Amino acid sequence: MSKKKPAIGMVIGPSPALMTGKHIVNTPYIQAIVHAGGTPLLLPVTGDPATANEYIDLLDGLLIPGGADVTPTLYGEDSVPQVTYMLEDQDRLELALIHLASERQMPIFGICRGIQLLNVAFGGTLYQDIPSQCPGCIGHSQDVSTRSQMTHRVQLVPGSLMEQLLGAEPLFVNSYHHQAIKELAPGFSVSACAADGVVEAFENEARHIYAVQWHPEELVDRYDRFRPLFRHLVEEAGK
């Protein structure tokens, strides 16, 4: 009998701005997990965060993908005018899963909104809107139709997990987000930054958590350099 592939959970939620009455997931996330040797397990938002207690027993690892803005009230702030689209039910389900997975020492990988939600989950805060709250910052929000186009460089921290996975050579990434980490959650360390200081990756070895602000799932087909980000999740989930 062949060995069971690690099950990597990923929450999928409704997306009323795109299509009413349907749960939606971007296919590249699924493909990246499969290519890395994992089995993607899609976890629908039900409106009840307690569903996380049923989902967690099915999983070996957790991927927190990109998506809508993180609900500001979850980190003690009111929304600024630029924050108009949030999915709080999804936020709360994923927060519950994050804490359950962390308690079980389950590996967690966050992407874009994922790094932001992970930061909030452990006590950090966010810039709700980079252009209005971070004067002088570079452009972080390219048109979503050019999802695999590199738009700015990031500096990897020497000796970090991120450098181990991606190598020490200069790194360029795609970028389409308008929120970012403001106050870093306790226990986490920054592992990559943009030229303007915006956090592009962080990690917490004790909690088996790492995350990036860019979208590697959109890059792996063209750039093999980004595949280790997904392989690491699957390999850690299989231990």
Catalytic residues: 112, 215, 217
> Nearest-5° angle of CA 220, CA 222, CA 227?
25
Strands 7-15 and 108-111: unpaired
Beta bridge partners of 190: 202
CB of 75 within 8 A of CB of 116?
Answer: no
Distances (CA, A) of 152 to 142, 174, 198, 223, 230: 10, 7, 12, 15, 22
Which residues, at least 6 apart from 189, have a Cβ–Cβ distance to it below 8 Å? 157, 160, 202, 203, 204
Q: Is 5 exposed, middle or buried (0-12, 13-18, 19+ CB in 10 A)?
A: middle
Check the CA dihedral 81-82-87-89 and report its sign: negative
**Which residues in 149-159 are b (16+ Cβ under 10 Å) and which e?**
ebbbebebbee
